[in-house]
Amino acid sequence: MIQPDQVVEAFKKHTPALSSLLPTSTSVAPIPTVVPNKPHYESVGSTGTKTLWVVWVIMLLSTLTFAFMAFRVPVQKRLFHVITAFVTLFATISYFAMATGDGNSYAEIVIKETHKHTPDTIEYVYRQVFWARYVDWSVTTPLLLLDLAFLAGMSGANILVAIVADILMVLLGLFAAFGKTDGQKWGYYAMACAAMLVIFYQLVVPGRKAVNAKDGSTAKLFTSVGLFTIVLWTLYPVVWGIGDGSRHLSVDAEIICYAILDVLAKPVFGFWLLFAHRSAPSVEGWWANGLGSEGSVRLDDDGA
């Protein structure tokens, strides 16, 4: 007599597996050519924030000191005091904005690496850029150039060229900081450096020629503070290239470098200029007395 379990065993031996009867799929989903990585953020830390607050205090105290020094001299001799006070005033506002977390944004940087036997990788880096710094520079650096230009006695044409080149330099630096590709970033950077060379030419050639017509002490002071300015301004694009450009500096390290340069280029420059140029010439005319009767309408001039 055949047992039921013997029938089941025989059926299992002579019947193919159910999985072998099902259709098999040989299609494979396409392998992605680019594997994105997790976005990386480069932001300011506690050291950078503390540095911003320290420089804000320095700029504020310098502004108050320059204003106090201005009120101690007649209005005819306040030209350099007022310009220098404006420089640190705008820097005070800029550093307050940056220290309180304002005046910044993130620049997107796309880094793509191509591999032979594995999928390409792409990395998104978001670096914090303080655009308030560029707003500051667009106002304060032309004012610093006015200090040097008035000290040397440069012509209006040379002053205009220097200031326009200066504004272009700062704007191109801002565009470079937010450039998404290396071509954009370093292209703007190269144009900014070219504009800086135009500024240096105006100070060295026409500026030096103009100041030679003045007394020896003024010429010596212009040479000293002018060279000091040129050296400092040359270091700014170096910091930019290592920081925002190639990203070899952290955001905090970049802030510290710019802070040192800003303190030297603004308060230190201002105190040096004002204390060394105590015998500043008097500026009369509209600066001290206003327009007066110039430009007033004369009713008897129409022939009536």
Q: What's the CATH number where 183 sits?
A: 1.20.1070.10
Bridge-based pairing of strands 120-129 and 40-42 is parallel
Higher pLDDT, 179 or 285: 179
Residue at 284 is within a domain? no
Q: State the burial class of residue 179 (Cβ atoms within 10 Å of its Cβ: 0-12, 13-18, 19+).
A: buried
Q: Do residues 226 and 203 lie in contact, with contact meaning Cβ atoms separated by under 8 Å? A: yes
Tens of pLDDT, residue by residue over 11-25, are 455 555 544 554 555
Which of 270, 287, 277 lies closest to 140, judged by CA?
270
Residue at 3 is within a domain? no
- Is residue 110 classed as helix, strand or coil in its secondary structure? strand
pLDDT at residue 163 in the model: 97
Does 160 have pLDDT greater than 90? yes
Tell me phi and psi for residue 117, to 5 degrees. -110, 0
What is the residue range of 127's domain?
35-279
What average pLDDT does the segment 38-48 reach? 85
Tokens of 121: 């990788």
Residue at 8 is within a domain? no
Q: How far apart are the first and last CA of the chain?
A: 146
Tens of pLDDT, residue by residue over 92-125, are 999 999 999 999 999 887 777 776 666 667 777 8
Does 194 have pLDDT greater than 60? yes
Q: pLDDT averaged over the chain?
A: 84
pLDDT at residue 286 in the model: 55
Containing 204, the helix (H) or strand (E) segment is helix 182-204
User: What's the number of domains the chain is made of?
Assistant: 1
Residue at 22 is within a domain? no
Q: Do residues 139 and 152 lie in contact, with contact meaning Cβ atoms separated by under 8 Å? A: no
Residue at 300 is within a domain? no
Task: Give CA separation, 256 vs 64, 173, 198, in Å.
Answer: 24, 18, 28
Q: In terms of residues, how long is the chain? A: 304
Residue at 9 is within a domain? no
Going by C-beta distance under 8 Å and a sequence separation of 6 or more, which residues neighbour residue 157? none
Residue at 245 is within a domain? yes
Tens of pLDDT, residue by residue over 238-256, are 999 999 888 899 999 999 9
Alpha carbons 174 and 282: distance in angstroms, whole number: 38
Q: Using pLDDT thresholds of 50, 70 and 90, give the confidence band for residue 260.
A: very high
Which of 168, 167, 187, 162 lies closest to 177, judged by CA?
187
What percent of the chain stands above pLDDT 90? 58
Alpha carbons 172 and 303: distance in angstroms, whole number: 54
Does 302 have pLDDT greater than 60? no
Residue at 275 is within a domain? yes
